[in-house]
Amino acid sequence: MPSQRMLRKYAKLAVCVGANVRKNQPLLISASVETKDFVRLCVEEAYKAGASMVSVRWLDQMVSHTNFKYASVEVLSEIPSYIVDQMKFYIDKGYAAISISADTPGVMADIDPLKMQKVGMATGKALKFYSEHMMGNRTQWCVISVPTEGWAKKVFPNERASKAVDKLWDAILSAVRVTKDNDPVKEWKAHNEILHKHNEMLNNYNFKALKFKNSKGTDLTVGLVKNHVWAGGNEKSTKGIVFNPNLPTEESFTMPEKKGVNGTVFATKPLNYNGALIEDFWLTFKDGKVVDFDAKTSKEALASLVNYDDGSCYLGEVALISHDSPISNSNILFFNTLFDENASCHLALGRAYPMNVKGGNSMSQEQLDAAGANNSMTHNDFMFGSADMNIVGITHEGNEVVVFKNGNFVF
């Protein structure tokens, strides 16, 4: 277990660099009950940073599993009005948000994916206003992770539980640049500058499309929306406050043109989706839409993701990450998208981020639709990068520019 000093450094990083809580601003923390000790540190650090109020929404995946096992889909799909009112309250009061991702991979493997899909859609419809608020950067938000025993044993199955948790703590702290003697705030400032340089170069090229190929079988062309914006690292809320939405992050990402994706992509890492582990899967796109797919395990879960709603079979994000990067080089499969997506180029099925098109954060949904943005109640990343991935950018003049060679940026 890391020292209290290390844990406090991480908590302060989440509060001050991640969510960047402002003086007299309230903060919402959503977290598993298993992470309560670290949450308490985050609450204290938030008040030290000047937060006016810190509210915590406790989650319990095992209780959720039991609910899904025994309760009917009709009961589970009825979203209480007090939850809707609660989320509206957080928006109205200007809360920043920190979410602590700590799911146990595979815990929902015995639950009917269709049941989970129906409940997820009901929740998504009821709380769509809140997800649009967050994805539109109308406040600061940040996602981090803390080890749990179930997750750690999945990552390090040959270790006893306590040792597995310790090793996962070490891997997480390394990934978020928290070490015994460093100043992680200063390191994140330097890291954000590197990511912004990648974004600037990609924005200057203003590619019409990207072509991806590797030996696994990926042969995919991803069209990009007109006036797309490459982003990554820290971002600005619509109120002008800088924050880091993901700790860690290594990506530069932008918006695909909804109907401009064609070809086949093979995943290179498993996807933990709603507690089911989807492994060795591929997707074929035609005019933007998934028209065929398969998976070695949990194909039903993949089907529920692809068919979640009208937009879940289209892409909302394309992200570039060099294979030669810190999380990739750790050779650890985290079974957690926050980390695995930052070890590999990835795509996301579902909603696009409005910020990835010029002026998008101030656009109506109709305007975003017209710009080519995908709209959905879900957004799920999956990894497809590899050591031999080659990427070519196609300019509006039809010229080809090498962007990746053998898995890495060439600039």
For residue 151, being part of any structural domain is answered with yes
- The secondary structure of 215-265 as a DSSP string is TTS-EEEEEE-TTB--B-SSEE-TTS-EE-SBSS---EEEPEEEEEEEEEE
133 half-sphere exposure, CB direction, 13 A CA radius = 19
d(CA 117, CA 407): 35
Shared domain for 104 and 236, answered yes or no, is no
Residues 133 and 278 in one domain: no
- CB–CB of 391/399 below 8 Å? no
Given a contact cutoff of 8 angstroms between Cβ atoms, the answer to whether 254 and 345 are in contact is no
Q: Is residue 245 part of a domain?
A: yes
Token reading at 56: 């915590």
Measured CA angle at 356 (ends 214, 125), to 5 deg: 100
Tell whether 9 is covered by a domain: yes
Q: What is the pLDDT along the chain (411 residues), one digit of tens a residue?
A: 899 999 999 999 999 999 999 999 999 999 999 999 999 999 999 999 999 999 999 999 999 999 999 999 999 999 999 999 999 999 999 999 999 999 888 899 899 999 999 999 999 999 999 999 999 999 999 999 999 999 999 999 999 999 999 999 999 999 999 999 999 999 999 999 999 999 999 999 999 999 999 999 999 999 999 999 999 999 999 999 999 999 999 999 999 999 999 999 999 999 989 888 999 999 999 999 999 999 999 999 999 999 999 999 999 999 999 999 889 999 999 999 899 999 999 999 999 999 999 999 999 999 999 999 999 999 999 999 999 999 999 999 999 999 999 999 998
What SS3 class is residue 138?
A: coil
Q: Is 390 left (phi over 0), alpha (psi -120 to 50) or beta?
A: beta
Look at residues 175, 191, 217 and tell me which one is the last residue of a structural domain.
175
Domain count, the chain: 2
Q: Are residues 117 and 156 located together in one domain of the fold? A: yes
The enclosing domain of 169 has a CATH number of 3.40.1830.10
Q: pTM for the complete prediction?
A: 0.88
Kindly compute the dihedral angle of the four CA atoms of residues 90, 94, 95, 101, in this order, to the nearest 10 degrees. Answer: 90
The answer to whether residues 162 and 29 belong to one domain is yes
Give residue 169's domain range.
4-175
Asked if 139 and 214 sit in the same domain, the reply is: no
